[in-house]
Amino acid sequence: MKRLGISVYPNHSKVEEVKQYIELASKYNFKRIFTCLLSVEGNKEKVIKEFKDIIAVAKENSMEVIADVSPQLFEELEISYADLSFFKDIGADGIRLDNGFTGNEESVMTFNPQGLKIELNISNGTKYLENILSYQANPSNLYGCHNFYPHRFTGLGYDHFIKTSKQYKEQGVKTAAFISSATATIGPWLVSEGLCTLEMHRELPIVTQAKHLWATELIDDVIIGNAFASEEELRALSEIDPYQLSLNCKLVKEIPETEQKIVLEEPHFNRGDVSDYAIRSTQSRVKYNGHEFPAFNTPDINKGDILIESSLYIRYAGELQIALLPMGNSGKTNVVGRVVQEEVFLLDLIKPWQKFKFHLKK
C-alpha cells in the first residue's frame, strides 16, 4: 500500500503545534510520521515526555511513527541494539538508522520482540542492504527511506536515486522518499532551503513531486520533509491517486464539448505498440466512431500538447494523443490543450499499456 506522511520536529516546534499538525494531516488520510531523535539535549526526561505525548496523538490518529536515530543516541541513553524496548516504550513503531552499524547488529534488530520496523538509509548507494540480508535478517521488519537535503544543490541526482531505490525494491523492501512543502520552514537543521530527496524537485509544486515519486514505481511512501505544510498542500496531496498518473492540463477556450469530454472523462492508456512521437490513447476513436470532429485548431505541435485527430484523418478521427516531440501539423490534427509545463517531464515515465488521466487546472 502506498501512503502519505509528514515530518515533525519537537525540538524545533511547540508541542501543541505539532499535535494540531498531526490531527490535520490525519484528516487528509496521512498515515505515517517521520521524526528526529538523533540526540537528546538538555532535560532528557522533558524531551522524552514530549516525544511520548506527540507519538500518543499520532497513535490516536492511526499513524505509524518512525524515529530517526543514531549510534550517538544509543550511547547517550545507554541503549543496546539487542534491546530496543526504549523505543517501544515511547510509542514508536520503528527506528530509522541515519548511520548504520556493521550489518550483523541491524540483522539482530530485525528480530526485536517489540516488532519495531528497522528503516535503512537508501541514499548512500552501498551494498548495505545486501550485507544486512547476508546476516539472515528478518526482511518483513525492514524498511528503506531516502535522505532529505536542506541545502540547495545537494539533493540526489535522478540516476543515483533510481539505482539506489531499485536495490531495495528488488529485495521487496518497502521504500520511502521525501518531498518539500513550499510554505513550510521547519526542519532538523538551521539551513532550510526545502527538504526534498531529489534535487530536481526543489522548485517543483509539491503535488508534482509526489506524482513523480509514485510514477517511478520505486517509492511506496511519500513524506513531506519540512513542517508545517499548509492545509491546501495536504488536501491536494490527498487527492492524488498513487496508482494512476494524473496529468494537470489546460484546454483551449474553443474546444468543443465532445473533445473536452474525451480529454477529461474518457479512460486513457498508452498503446502497446509505442511511438517515439506521441502517447496514443485510441479507444475514443472507437467509441465516437461516426462523430464529426472538425479541424478547428491546427498549429505546429510541441511536446506536451494534447491532440485529438479531426475527421480529415478518417479512421483516426477522435483519437487522443500527447505529443512527445515537436512535430509539424498537416492541418488535420487539433491541438485541444496542453499538459502544464512543470509536468511535461512526467510523460517520459508513461509505459506501454499504462493507464493515465487528465485533471483540468483552473
* pLDDT in 10s for each residue of the chain, 362 residues: 999 999 999 988 999 999 999 999 999 999 999 999 866 666 778 888 999 999 999 999 999 999 999 877 888 888 888 999 999 999 999 999 977 888 999 999 999 999 999 999 999 989 999 999 999 999 999 999 999 999 999 999 999 999 999 999 999 999 999 999 999 999 988 878 999 999 999 999 999 999 999 999 999 999 999 999 999 999 999 999 999 999 999 999 999 999 999 999 999 999 999 999 999 999 999 999 999 999 999 999 999 999 999 999 999 999 999 999 999 999 999 999 999 999 999 999 999 999 999 999 98
Which CATH number goes with the domain that contains 98? 3.20.20.70
User: What pLDDT does residue 40 have?
Assistant: 63
- Statement to judge: residues 256 and 220 lie in one domain: no
User: What pLDDT does residue 253 have?
Assistant: 97
User: What pLDDT does residue 38 have?
Assistant: 67
- Statement to judge: residues 58 and 187 lie in one domain: yes
- Statement to judge: residues 259 and 236 lie in one domain: no
- Statement to judge: residues 81 and 138 lie in one domain: yes
User: What pLDDT does residue 184 have?
Assistant: 96
Distances (CA, A) of 35 to 38, 66, 82, 305: 9, 6, 22, 42
**Domain count of the fold of the chain:** 2
C-alpha radius of gyration, the chain, whole number: 24
User: What pLDDT does residue 312 have?
Assistant: 98
Q: Which of 199, 91, 213 is nearest to 162 (CA)?
A: 213
Q: 206 with 237: CB under 8 angstroms? A: yes
Q: What is the pLDDT of residues 174-221, one digit of tens each?
A: 999 999 999 999 998 887 899 999 999 999 999 999 999 999 999 999
- Statement to judge: residues 168 and 270 lie in one domain: no
**CA–CA distance, 287 with 308 (Å, rounded to integer):** 14
Q: 230 with 181: CB under 8 angstroms? A: yes
* Residue span of the structural domain in which 99 resides: 3-243
Question: Among residues 215, 243, 271, which one ends one of the domains?
Answer: 243
Question: Among residues 201, 225, 243, which one ends one of the domains?
Answer: 243
- Statement to judge: residues 292 and 212 lie in one domain: no
Which CATH number goes with the domain that contains 346? 2.40.100.10
